């Protein structure tokens, strides 16, 4: 441990003497921004890397001239952005990381263009993306992820269609539908597969997070104003069209998400936006060997302690990678991670009052996230929406029947073996889109619940972003 008092550039002693930075933050969304600012303020030399060209991540996706209309907590982004761009943080846009290796100085971060960044500690704040459940027709153009529809609207000013069906599960469907309606699209309906009455069973989490509920109520008012129906225990079970979607089949579901016979109806539409919660982006923690667990929402997440430390020394985790919980929680976890990474590397005096306050806030926000996960679970009946021809893996065009044969005829017992035999998850997206569904389908075919090992087997990726063979040869 360094023993001298800190200053931003004085940390050239002991084991960190070969590092370019004390702290390197991966991802410039809410968690990464908060982490970088906290670490920089505490006196660490900080690099903040993002694959994109701007700070903000998916949550604050924007263009340069954006004034914040339609964004939540925009003033927080402005404060953090100005702290990053004018303060002690080295923001490095356009840096897609394909690998992180351990080294004597800490870690070496490998960028897709061949550059390397040497750092004493690492904060992984790589966020997440929409979790998808396949259904017949989900590969048709015009079917979008809910997050994709939101990114095109908020980040690009483009609506995915004129007559849009929004479906899936979780509170995120509400801002997506409200945003599209406010932008002038006709949202035919919001079809929520779950029956989110669960909040009534979590009064503590509700009372401490009233602002989040108020946000939800605002979206519901927008839906009401635009006369958009919000249907629970219903979802899109099929999309139809030749070279683009023109109809969606919507059906009522039972408590396990099996289709209630005779409840199907056809809706004319030119776009469908679907999402079933979020999947944390875990490539880097998995490459480094960080311990994982299965979270309440069924996602594989990395384990973080009260200082946001992962199980590998020097690795800190913040935001969705340690459990999907939304931007307010990501900001708190980011600040905790940034402070502790700086305390460790530059021997700054910890601010115990601030840390205590952050931990209390984290606890309240995590209870809210847990209540949310308990209210919007993915139920196994979704597997009954599939037919044999449904493409499970979009990249390699692997059908449900092909996966079934590799389990039933060839005897595969786990998703990783199925991946090797039938190629789901072998394409360009590396199983990011089909991984969860493949794990669920294989476990179901084996007559058992989906396990952490199932998800691990299809989530481990030695290369986290596409690189050229030349870069790989030099790396």
- DSSP letter at 257 equals S
Q: Which is nearer to other proteins, 362 or 432 (CB)?
A: 432
70, 90, 102, 152: which one contacts other proteins (CB under 8 A)?
Answer: 152
139, 265, 266, 413: which one contacts other proteins (CB under 8 A)?
Answer: 139
Q: Does 397 bind other proteins (CB under 8 A)?
A: yes
Q: Does 129 bind other proteins (CB under 8 A)?
A: yes
What angle is formed at CA 286 by the lines to CA 329 and CA 39, rounded to 5 degrees?
45
1, 3, 65, 214: which one contacts other proteins (CB under 8 A)?
Answer: 65
11, 16, 41, 58: which one contacts other proteins (CB under 8 A)?
Answer: 58
Q: Which is nearer to other proteins, 212 or 432 (CB)?
A: 432
Query: Which residues touch 171 (CB under 8 Å, ≥6 apart)?
Result: 196, 216, 372, 376
Q: Does 149 bind other proteins (CB under 8 A)?
A: yes
Task: Provide the minimum distance between the beta carbon of 425 and other proteins in the complex, in angstroms, as a whole number.
Answer: 12
Q: Does 53 bind other proteins (CB under 8 A)?
A: yes
Round to whole Å and give the CA distance between 53 and 209.
Answer: 33
Tell me the Ramachandran region of residue 295: left when phi exceeds 0, alpha when psi lies from -120 to 50, beta otherwise: beta
7, 13, 18, 156: which one contacts other proteins (CB under 8 A)?
Answer: 156
Q: Does 113 bind other proteins (CB under 8 A)?
A: no
Q: What 3-state DSSP class applies to 166?
A: strand
What angle is formed at CA 418 by the lines to CA 414 and CA 419, rounded to 5 degrees?
115
Q: Does 145 bind other proteins (CB under 8 A)?
A: yes
The two most distant CA atoms of the chain are separated, in Å, by 73
Task: Provide the minimum distance between the beta carbon of 78 and other proteins in the complex, in angstroms, as a whole number.
Answer: 18
432, 435, 440, 456: which one contacts other proteins (CB under 8 A)?
Answer: 432
Round to whole Å and give the CA distance between 228 and 297.
Answer: 27
Dihedrals φ, ψ of 43, to 5°? 105, 5
296, 427, 444, 475: which one contacts other proteins (CB under 8 A)?
Answer: 427
Residue 70 has a CB neighbour count (10 Å cut-off) of: 17
Dihedrals φ, ψ of 106, to 5°? 135, -90
Q: Does 395 bind other proteins (CB under 8 A)?
A: yes
Task: Provide the minimum distance between the beta carbon of 327 and other proteins in the complex, in angstroms, as a whole number.
Answer: 16
The CA distances from residue 288 to 38, 107, 296, 337, 461, in Å, are 24, 10, 24, 17, 11
Q: Which is nearer to other proteins, 129 or 276 (CB)?
A: 129
Q: What 3-state DSSP class applies to 174?
A: helix
98, 144, 172, 436: which one contacts other proteins (CB under 8 A)?
Answer: 144
Task: Provide the minimum distance between the beta carbon of 44 and other proteins in the complex, in angstroms, as a whole number.
Answer: 29
Continuous H helices in 127-228:
146-156, 173-182, 203-207, 210-225
Contact range with other proteins by CB under 8 A, out of 15-23, 82-90, 150-158, 295-303: 150-158
Q: Does 394 bind other proteins (CB under 8 A)?
A: yes
69, 200, 428, 473: which one contacts other proteins (CB under 8 A)?
Answer: 428
Q: Does 63 bind other proteins (CB under 8 A)?
A: yes
Q: Which is nearer to other proteins, 23 or 393 (CB)?
A: 393
Q: Does 160 bind other proteins (CB under 8 A)?
A: yes
Round to whole Å and give the CA distance between 441 and 418.
Answer: 11
Round to whole Å and give the CA distance between 436 and 148.
Answer: 18
| Cβ atoms of 276 and 451 closer than 8 Å | no
Round to whole Å and give the CA distance between 300 and 336.
Answer: 22
**Positions in the binding site for other proteins (CB under 8 A):** 51-53, 58, 61, 63-65, 129-130, 139, 141-145, 147-149, 151-152, 155-158, 160, 243-244, 394-397, 427-429, 432-433
């Amino acid at each position: 441990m360094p023993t001298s008092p800190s200053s931003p550039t004085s940390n050239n002693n002991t084991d960190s003497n070969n590092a370019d930075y004390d702290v390197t933050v991966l991802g410039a969304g809410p968690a990464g921004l908060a982490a970088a600012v906290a670490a920089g303020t505490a006196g660490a030399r900080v690099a903040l890397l993002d694959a994109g060209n701007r700070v903000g991540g998916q949550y604050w996706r924007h263009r340069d001239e954006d004034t914040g209309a339609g964004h939540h907590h925009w003033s927080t982004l402005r404060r953090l952005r100005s702290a990053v761009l004018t303060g002690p943080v080295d923001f490095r846009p356009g840096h897609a990381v394909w690998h992180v290796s351990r080294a004597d100085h800490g870690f070496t971060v490998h960028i897709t263009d061949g550059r390397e960044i040497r750092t004493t500690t690492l904060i992984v704040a790589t966020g997440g993306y929409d979790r998808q459940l396949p259904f017949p027709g989900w590969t048709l153009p015009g079917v979008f992820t809910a997050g994709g529809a939101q990114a095109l609207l908020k980040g690009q000013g483009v609506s995915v269609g004129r007559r849009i069906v929004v479906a899936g599960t979780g509170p995120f469907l509400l801002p997506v539908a409200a945003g599209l309606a406010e932008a002038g699209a006709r949202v035919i309906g919001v079809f929520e597969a779950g029956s989110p009455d669960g909040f009534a069973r979590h009064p503590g989490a509700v009372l401490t997070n009233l602002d989040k509920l108020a946000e939800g109520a605002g979206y519901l008012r927008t839906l009401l104003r635009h006369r958009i129906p919000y249907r629970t225990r219903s979802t899109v079970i099929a999309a139809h069209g030749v070279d683009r979607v023109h109809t969606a089949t919507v059906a009522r579901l039972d408590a396990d998400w099996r289709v209630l016979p005779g409840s199907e109806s056809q809706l004319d539409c030119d776009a469908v936006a679907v999402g079933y919660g979020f999947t944390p982006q875990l490539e880097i923690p998995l490459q480094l060997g960080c311990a994982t667990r299965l979270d309440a929402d069924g996602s594989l997440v990395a384990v973080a302690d009260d200082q946001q430390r992962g199980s590998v020394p020097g690795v800190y985790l913040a935001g969705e990678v340690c459990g999907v919980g939304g931007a307010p929680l990501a900001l708190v976890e980011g600040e905790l991670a940034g402070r502790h990474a700086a305390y460790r590397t530059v021997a700054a005096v910890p601010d115990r009052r601030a840390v205590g306050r952050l931990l209390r806030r984290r606890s309240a926000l995590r209870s809210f996230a847990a209540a949310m996960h308990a209210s919007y679970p993915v139920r196994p009946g979704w597997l009954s929406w599939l037919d044999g021809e449904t493409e499970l893996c979009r990249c390699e065009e692997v059908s449900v029947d092909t996966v079934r044969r590799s389990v039933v005829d060839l005897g595969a017992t786990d998703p990783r073996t199925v991946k090797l035999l039938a190629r789901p998850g072998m394409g360009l997206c590396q199983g990011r889109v089909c991984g969860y569904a493949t794990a669920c389908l294989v476990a179901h075919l084996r007559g058992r619940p989906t396990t952490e090992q199932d998800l691990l087997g299809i989530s481990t990726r030695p290369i986290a972003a596409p690189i050229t063979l030349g870069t790989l040869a030099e790396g």
